A = this chain, B = another copy of it.
């Protein structure tokens, strides 16, 4: 069976500030029940679990977003995870190293979901900006950071191969949602107390581009520093 990671937009379009919402959550959910993304104008961080899309906004508040909420960028897939192992007492760096060793698939896309408890969870959430949008790096500087201790929840991560840096962020890109919805966001760092690790490997990377968006279609990307700016901002 085809295992598809669906992506609306490409990370590259965020770099010069093409932040308009070009797909609704309602349409996005037709491509999967699990995912991550951001709202128009980098309106917070999104995490989609079991068909429900949650936003962690720039004030750190968590809410479920309506079907007409729009996104400039999101990754979704239909969950069909395999239980892999239980990990405990690991830093973020150690966790990602162990995952790379376990999955052994550096050249394709995969998702990792860790349900567990975290001694420390450090996140950020972008703060919504309004048109005319600034660049990704400038907009990302408005982000707010949040830290929780001894929190349980779900870490949802996508691994992208180095070959695809630009379309996606190479390596792991993770969002978090606390089980009680008390915090979440784009993950900057964590210490895992103990968690159940699930993995789903994809063979297909489906990129949907916002071809009805005039600004995207006519933008000259030749002067944008795509790879380096994504590394800086993400």
Contacts and interface: CB of A to CB of B under 8 A. Distances in A.
B108 A209 contact: yes
Contact of A107 (B162, B203, B209): B209
Count the copies. Answer: 2
Given A204-B208, A208-B204, A217 B108 contact: yes
B205 A211 contact: no
A103 B91 CA distance: 50
Interface stretch (A43-51, A61-69, A186-194, A218-226): A218-226
Contacts of A10: 163
A203 B205 CA distance: 14
A12 B107 CA distance: 11
Interface of A: 2, 4, 10, 12, 104-109, 161-164, 166-167, 201, 203-211, 216-222, 226
29 contacts: A4-B206, A10-B163, A104-B217, A104-B218, A105-B211, A105-B217, A106-B217, A106-B218, A107-B216, A107-B217, A107-B218, A107-B219, A107-B221, A108-B209, A109-B209, A161-B221, A162-B221, A162-B222, A164-B167, A201-B211, A203-B208, A203-B209, A203-B210, A204-B208, A204-B209, A205-B206, A205-B207, A205-B209, A206-B207
